[in-house]
Amino acid sequence: MAEVLVYVDHVDGAVRKPTLELLTLARRIGEPVAVALGAGAESTAAALAEHGATRVLTHDASEYVDYLVVPKVDALQAAVAAVSPAAVLVPSSAEGKEIAARLALRIGSGIITDAVDLEAGDEGPVATQSVFAASFTTKSRVSKGTPVITVKPNSAAVEAAPAAGAVEALAVSFSAQATGTKITGRTPRESTGRPELTEAAIVVSGGRGVNGAENFALIEALADSLGAAVGASRAAVDAGWYPHTNQVGQTGKSVSPQLYIANGISGAIQHRAGMQTSKTIVAVNKDAEAPIFDLVDYGVVGDLFDVVPQLTEEIKTRKG
């Protein structure tokens, strides 16, 4: 069976969920071979094997920390040369898309970004994309070269499928471009202890209606009662009430959780672009005409300062 390369997104060896989802999708089109780079690469092997990786190609070098994107492209290109895969799958993060694009160009292949599903087809893998703020669904394939496809988080359920996961050292020689963009400083983001926004099963968001940074405590309390991630509209972010990393929408994160709760958010097209594929959508808004109500499975027309605390209390009571 043909091998399929899966680029591993991990933090010091802890594999992030979107990569495990990719392994599930990869098994539909071939045998997954994972590529893990940087510090802790080898410690990803156990989790990857548990989810279907037959082999895990690893490499560590200071270049991955000191320079932007290109060293990772060099490594992935080396992996493509070594494996001759039927396809290359990369998680759809901002960096993942850049890595995938440069790789595709180098190996003479087309690229599809932000796939939300993947299936085997007669002429290679067929990717489903959700476009124009999720108002259209397209099916596409790469018609030239080895398909390079980036896949959004939450596009498949993680399935265990134990495989060998044999660790093999990948030989990488860095290109002249590898050291072009220096990373001269790095400020790690503080962890909030809440789930990662793009990976969370439930997202609770606040918009301009929350009316102040301090009031986001209400949104956080609701989120915590559900074990959810916190999101925000651009209006709330631009006002400085919540960090930009939590913005949901076209220029923020796209989320596709089981449940999305929008509080004090009108539902502008650019916000919808980032959350419209959520399975169940709930909104609290005092304006019955707000466009967000066109999307909802359940909506409450009311003041969020009344509804949200009552909801949070009720959830706590029910959860005992």
Partner 1 sequence: MSLRIVVTVKYVPDATGDRHFADDLTVDRDDVDGLLSELDEYAVEQALQISENADDDVEITVLTVGPEDAKDALRKALSMGADKAIHVEDDDLHGTDAIGTSLVLAKAIEKAGYDLVISGLASTDGTMGVVPALLAERLGVPQVTLLSEVSVEDGTVKGRRDGDAASEQLEASLPAVVSVTDQSGEARYPSFKGIMAAKKKPVESWDLSDLDLEAEEVGLEGAWTAVESATQRPARTAGTIVKDEGEGGKQLAEFLAGQKFI
The Cβ-side half-sphere exposure at 16, using a 13 Å CA radius, reads: 21
Distances 274 to 205, 250, 271 between C-alpha atoms, Å: 12, 6, 6
Is 40 among the residues that bind partner 1 (CB under 8 A)? no
> Whose Cβ is closer to ligand FAD: residue 226's or residue 265's?
265
In sequence order, the β-bridge partners of residue 282 are 261, 298
- Among residues 58 and 155, whose Cβ is nearest to ligand FAD? 155
Among 56, 281, 290, 295, the residue binding ligand FAD under the rule CB under 6 A is: 290
Contacts of 274 (CB under 8 A, 6+ apart): 248, 249, 250, 252, 253, 254, 255
Q: Which does 84 bind (CB under 5 to 8 A by kind): partner 1, ligand FAD, none?
A: none
CA distance 307 to 264: 11
Is 18:198 a contact under the CB 8 Å cutoff? Answer: yes
Distance separating alpha carbons of residues 262 and 86, to the nearest angstrom:
41
Count, residues near ligand FAD per rule CB under 6 A: 33
Candidates 62, 84, 138, 192: give the one binding partner 1 (CB under 8 A): 138
- CB of residue 281 vs partner 1: minimum separation in angstroms? 8
Which one, 26 or 295, has the nearer CB to partner 1?
A: 295
214 binds, among partner 1, ligand FAD, none (CB under 5 to 8 A by kind): none
Beta-carbon neighbour count of residue 212 at 10 Å? Answer: 11
Which of 105, 239 has the CB closer to partner 1?
A: 105
**Alpha-carbon separation of residue 110 from 60, 289, 301 (angstroms):** 28, 43, 47
Of 136, 153, 91, 151, the closest CA to residue 273 belongs to 136
Taking each helix axis from N to C end, the angle separating 216-226 and 304-319, rounded to the nearest 10 degrees, works out to 20
Residue that is written with structure tokens 């893998």 in the block:
125
| Stretch in the footprint of partner 1 (CB under 8 A) among 28-36, 44-52, 55-63, 268-276 | 268-276
Q: Rounded to the nearest 5°, which phi and psi values hold at 72?
A: -70, -35
Judged by CB under 8 A, the residue of 62, 84, 143, 192 near partner 1 is: 143
Choosing from 159, 169, 258, 287, the residue that interacts with partner 1 (CB under 8 A) is 258
Query: Which of 8, 90, 111, 118: binder of partner 1 (CB under 8 A)?
Result: 111
Q: Which range touches partner 1 (CB under 8 A), out of 31-39, 77-85, 159-167, 269-277?
A: 269-277
**The two three-digit tokens of residue 46, written as one number:** 């156990």
The encoded tokens of residue 128 equal 């489903």
Q: Considering CB distances under 5 to 8 angstroms, the limit depending on partner class, which of ligand FAD, partner 1, none binds residue 143?
A: partner 1
Which residues inside 192-221 make contact with ligand FAD, applying CB under 6 A?
207-209
Q: Kindly determine how many residues on this chain lie close enough to bind partner 1 according to the rule CB under 8 A.
A: 90
Q: Which one of partner 1, ligand FAD, none is in contact with 69 (Cβ closer than 5 to 8 A by kind)?
A: partner 1
In this chain, which stretch among 28-36, 109-117, 163-171, 212-220 interacts with partner 1, using CB under 8 A? Answer: 109-117
CA distance 278 to 197: 13
- In the region spanning residues 117 to 136, those forming contacts with partner 1, defined by CB under 8 A, are 126, 130-136
Q: Are 139 and 128 in contact, with CB atoms under 8 Å apart?
A: yes
For the segment 186-205, give every residue that binds partner 1 (CB under 8 A).
Answer: 186-189, 196, 202
Chain residues that interact with ligand FAD, rule: CB under 6 A: 110-113, 131, 207-209, 233-236, 247-252, 264-266, 268, 270-271, 274, 284-287, 290, 303-305
